[in-house]
Structure 1
Amino acid sequence: MSALPNPVMSWAVLVGVSRYTRLEPLPAVANNLPELTALLTSPLSWGLPADHCTVVAEPATAPAMLDAVQHAAELAEDTLLIYFAGHGLLDSRGDLYFGLPDAVSGRSHTGVTYQALREILTDSPAQRFVIVLDCCMSGRALGLMGGSDQLADQAEIEGSYLLAAAPDNGLALAPPNAAHTAFTGELLRILRQGIPGQARDLDLDLVYRQLRTALAAQGLPQPQKRVRNTAGRLILARNQAYLPTPASTLADPTGAEWPDPEQCHTPHAFLDALVEVRAVSGQTIKAVSQQVDPPMSPAAISALLNRTTLPRTWKTTALYLAACGVPSDRIQAWKDTWHNLRTTEHLAPTPPPTGDTPIRSRGWRPRLPGGRRRNRP
């Protein structure tokens, strides 16, 4: 599959509880949801259709939260992202549950158990899961959310990436008067501003490492992760602070340092690298067109460099690279990357469902005795 989720076949559910009647309120959580929605639906990140990013704010009951998760889980075929911010609690057995507005510590029936959520994800046809938990245990002073490493251990799902704010020392900050919780605020900053001198795209592993570094530098608790299979390579956003470095360029005998196509894991990165090739060559578009054999107009070169999708055929790109002076052996590497990106794209994605599309009734509620369900490997 492509490292960048297909937006038409991917879904996100963002859940947040900021107002509690019996636990300390977490007002910063309320600001997390619209900011994450704006990011996930923008070209900067996944570019999800608006109706593929469901926000569930202050869910009063378990169905209010889980029905939205199941709806997305039923329809997602590429990637499913679930985000929860609020109080994360442990019951008397040490099992994790998410605190709803009337939650009481130690009473799982006042929240949503992780097991109920996990059953939905286990049944989903989605190929990849991203679970972001900005929560821990309750019972802390205002501005603090407690937790332990049990959170990540219990939330581990096959073929998934769990990113949790709860560190091993049991504290995750939600500072009073802050616009966002510490964890989500730093996550938003990284995705918007990028990481200077790193890759063209920000995958989950890179974001996680930067989160730990940035939060530690501020004296804040560090997050944790649990990864299954290759989910860490999944891209969250384009790197807005991308700067070519020796690690991302290849020099030829003339001294030119060409972008490395093998560092291009998405169509956007590939197209950006094509533009960078001309800059490295030092030629104008008109000059490049004059080097092409057979001749090609400057307008054709400009059209190639202004594409928003990969070229369907290879010929024009090959001619362009050769005219810029890219060595023939490197042109083959570009072709290999183009071919890999083309074959991992969903060329005929399923259109988004209409409002009349029925939801399949696997259900999050307990199944009847003897019922069968498909478990993911």
Structure 2
Amino acid sequence: MSVLPDPGASRAVLVGTGRYEHLEQLPAVPNNLQALADLLRGPLSLQLPARHVAVVEDPVAAHTVVGAVRQAAAEATDTLVLYFAGHGLVDAQDQLCLALPHTEFGRVETGLPFDWLRQVLLLDSRAERHVVILDCCYSGLALGRMGAGLQLADQAAVEGSFLLAAAAETRTALAPVGETYTAFTGALLDTLRHGIPGAPALLDLGVLYRHLRLVLEARGHPVPQARDRNSGAQVALARNHAVLPAVPLTAAPGVDAGERSWPDPRAVRTVTGFFTALADVRVVSGLTHRAVSERSAGRIAAGTVSRLLNRSTLPATWNATAVYLAACGVPGEQITQWQAVWQQLRAEAAETASVRAASPAAPQRGDSEKNRTWQRSFTVFRRKRGQ
């Protein structure tokens, strides 16, 4: 079953090198990074909080990239997205090496072995799922050493992940001169922004991969590769905006609300994810705030709907959320699942607050200094008294 990651429990690290001292420049890479970061943070995709998207542009050293990935791997518990755009090299052992600004052709020790990042994902990551997107370009020599193009995906594969890689034959084919984005990332951005007509409501990685193969092949560009480990293909990067917003339920008598692709509350793990998915319910229903209010028979006002979806803390009572979900058309059994998630998050918040309250408060610096000043004054006073 396809599922959108919980944005509160997910992280993304976007790495790109467009400026090189010894290799061909790739001016489209900065555009890739900015556009993909904006998309992942926005309503068209995962709606990740800004602090959950790390952009590493033109890293001067390998440890800069590894450090950013290691931090994200330690923080993410749902999904970790790792993206790289730039030149790719192949070492003497046919291992993938990512080119950094100072990388020299034929000297892979000046680059970043992908296996270093792969080890972080394997050994240090708390995330259940990993999405690895590699938009790398190769020279003719690199392609000759690679042999079959599918070897790239095999090299970079990580258990519990989905690898999506651009199989570029030349730099120009991957980054056409004068284009805003590289060919592969441009097609990916366009698909996430506009959707795929006739495709499912969730654009999971399996659907994206098949669509990108058709699009890029039709354009004469190298076709991408993919590797799926442990159902990683079911991770969705966006809703299918070619079929959203849906028409209001009242105008679609032939559509069963229970068959709609509602956000799965069981995938929610954080308060951020709760409200993101809750807002997505309205998108799937195709209803405006006013229409939700009307369908609730006045039990929830349009202003209340807006305030509910823009909260940053969980509501103290369940009633308004239940009315909202029912008015949107969510089936009763799913509303029960939503309530269970709300109760679980409330319990976790209460437990966290209890632990904080039980912890001894750290002394205030001002109070400590006042206390030391008083002690010094008292000591001087006693000396004057001959004590």
Per-residue CA deviations over 1:48-83 (Å, capped at 9, x if unaligned) read 222221111111211122111112112222211111
Classify 1:138/1:170 alpha carbon distance in 2 versus 1 (closer, same or farther; 3 Å). Answer: closer
Classify 1:319/1:46 alpha carbon distance in 2 versus 1 (closer, same or farther; 3 Å). Answer: closer
* Alpha carbons 1:92, 1:106 under 8 Å: kept: no
Secondary structure in 2 matching 1:125: coil
Gaps of 5+ in 2: 142-146, 265-276, 354-387
CA distance in 1, matches of 2:334, 2:223: 36
Classify 1:306/1:284 alpha carbon distance in 2 versus 1 (closer, same or farther; 3 Å). Answer: same
Secondary structure in 2 matching 1:216: helix
- Partner residue, 1:196: 197
Classify 1:181/1:315 alpha carbon distance in 2 versus 1 (closer, same or farther; 3 Å). Answer: closer
Per-residue CA deviations over 1:291-329 (Å, capped at 9, x if unaligned) read xxxxxx2645885699638994686368648xxxx8xxx
How do 1:174-189 residues align onto structure 2 when only pairs under 5 Å count? 174-189=175-190
Gaps of 5+ in 1: 141-145, 291-296, 352-377
CA distance in 1, matches of 2:200, 2:53: 27
Counterpart residue identity of residue 334, structure 2: T
* Correspondence 1:100 to 2:100: yes
- Partner residue, 1:257: 255
Aligned length: 322
CA distance in 1, matches of 2:288, 2:45: 24
Higher strand share: 1
Per-residue CA deviations over 1:264-315 (Å, capped at 9, x if unaligned) read 2453553334445999xxx9965x566xxxxxx2645885699638994686
How do 1:311-322 residues align onto structure 2 when only pairs under 5 Å count? 312=318, 316=323, 320=327
* Correspondence 1:337 to 2:334: yes
Counterpart residue identity of residue 227, structure 2: R
* Alpha carbons 1:137, 1:147 under 8 Å: kept: no
Classify 1:307/1:190 alpha carbon distance in 2 versus 1 (closer, same or farther; 3 Å). Answer: farther
* Correspondence 1:24 to 2:24: yes
Classify 1:341/1:216 alpha carbon distance in 2 versus 1 (closer, same or farther; 3 Å). Answer: farther
How do 1:36-51 residues align onto structure 2 when only pairs under 5 Å count? 36-51=36-51
* Alpha carbons 1:249, 1:260 under 8 Å: kept: no
Classify 1:260/1:61 alpha carbon distance in 2 versus 1 (closer, same or farther; 3 Å). Answer: same
- Partner residue, 1:369: none
CA distance in 2, matches of 1:110, 1:157: 24
Counterpart residue identity of residue 120, structure 1: V
Classify 1:220/1:338 alpha carbon distance in 2 versus 1 (closer, same or farther; 3 Å). Answer: farther
Secondary structure in 2 matching 1:256: coil
* Alpha carbons 1:45, 1:238 under 8 Å: kept: yes
Single out whichever of 180-189 and 265-274 deviates more from structure 2.
Answer: 265-274
Counterpart residue identity of residue 263, structure 1: S
Secondary structure in 2 matching 1:117: helix
Alignment RMSD (CA, Å): 3.9
Higher helix share: 2
* Alpha carbons 1:259, 1:273 under 8 Å: kept: no
Counterpart residue identity of residue 262, structure 2: C
Classify 1:202/1:90 alpha carbon distance in 2 versus 1 (closer, same or farther; 3 Å). Answer: same
Q: Report the alpha carbon displacement of residue 17 of structure 1 after superposing the two structures with TM.
A: 0.7
* Alpha carbons 2:157, 2:227 under 8 Å: kept: yes
CA distance in 1, matches of 2:203, 2:307: 22
* Alpha carbons 1:195, 1:241 under 8 Å: kept: yes
CA distance in 2, matches of 1:289, 1:15: 46
Q: Report the alpha carbon displacement of residue 35 of structure 1 after superposing the two structures with TM.
A: 0.9
How do 1:1-377 residues align onto structure 2 when only pairs under 5 Å count? 3-123=3-123, 124-138=125-139, 148-166=149-167, 173-242=174-243, 256-261=254-259, 263-266=261-264, 267=277, 268-275=279-286, 286=294, 288=295, 297=298, 299-300=300-301, 303=304, 308=309, 312=318, 316=323, 320=327, 334-340=331-337, 347=345, 348=348
TM-score, structure 1 as length reference: 0.72
Classify 1:151/1:18 alpha carbon distance in 2 versus 1 (closer, same or farther; 3 Å). Answer: same
CA distance in 2, matches of 1:111, 1:147: 23
Classify 1:257/1:181 alpha carbon distance in 2 versus 1 (closer, same or farther; 3 Å). Answer: same
Identity of aligned residues (%): 42
Classify 1:89/1:289 alpha carbon distance in 2 versus 1 (closer, same or farther; 3 Å). Answer: closer
CA distance in 2, matches of 1:80, 1:335: 32
Classify 1:147/1:192 alpha carbon distance in 2 versus 1 (closer, same or farther; 3 Å). Answer: farther
Q: Report the alpha carbon displacement of residue 125 of structure 1 after superposing the two structures with TM.
A: 1.0
